[in-house]
Structure 1
């Protein structure tokens, strides 16, 4: 049974001119795509199956990520149903020269594991595993309320 921390993935994306909107900040749709991709990787690591997006819960853009900045995206599985996987996803603006970060975006996505025929397939039980895993899981559950 996979643990919360085993599903944790962090990726960085450099914001280039082709990612920017008219304000020279990261286009919200591009960030949403990156959130979805990293979230799906986390869900697939957990499920051991292909996972597809079923739901995007509240998605708040708190502050922009500028041209030349790095978008740091983190995702981890915090809950699972019979065939579904709930993934907590956060993003930060990272200054590439200093590593300083500011939170920009938070959401939860629900993914469904599918088999080779595209039908929902069961996922394993989630194990918390460690104190850090428990802290992350509790944080995600509290954010749902």
Structure 2
């Protein structure tokens, strides 16, 4: 069994001009790539296996992330099946000078754990032992069902 909090991954990417579109904001494809990488890390921490992306649920880009800001990405596993792992991902625009953050993008990715022969393999059960873990899982389940 793996505790939800053990799957929590937070990462920053500094948005540089080469990550930007013609509006000097992070290109959506770069944000999605960063989210996918962080989500895969979370799924692998949970499963102890290599994980591949199986599905990306709706991804809405609510606000831009400007060149010079960081994309602050948070991921955690909130549910699992036999070989599948559901990960909640949130990207925020962060100004490192002020530490101000605002949510820009949220999505739910599904990964599949694979073995050395690249076949689906089983994953452990997810546990939520603390109030924080229960709250994170509940928030993801509620938001996931609202879509």
- TM-score > 0.5, shorter chain as reference: yes
1:53 is matched with 53
2:133 is matched with 133
1:69 is matched with 69
1:64-92 per-position Cα deviation (integer Å, ceiling 9, x unaligned):
00000000000000000000000000010
CA RMSD of aligned residues (A): 0.5
The CA distance in 2 between the partners of 1:61 and 1:79, in whole Å, is 24
1:111-144 per-position Cα deviation (integer Å, ceiling 9, x unaligned):
0000001000000000012100000000000011
Cα shift at 1:94: 0.2
Which consecutive unaligned segments of at least 5 residues does structure 2 have? none
The CA distance in 2 between the partners of 1:137 and 1:15, in whole Å, is 29
Residues 1-145 of structure 1 mapped to structure 2, 5 A cutoff: 1-145=1-145
Tell me the TM-score normalized by structure 2: 0.98
The CA distance in 2 between the partners of 1:20 and 1:96, in whole Å, is 18
Cα shift at 1:9: 0.4
Structure 1 counterpart SS, 2:43: helix
Cα shift at 1:95: 0.4
The CA distance in 1 between the partners of 2:4 and 2:144, in whole Å, is 17
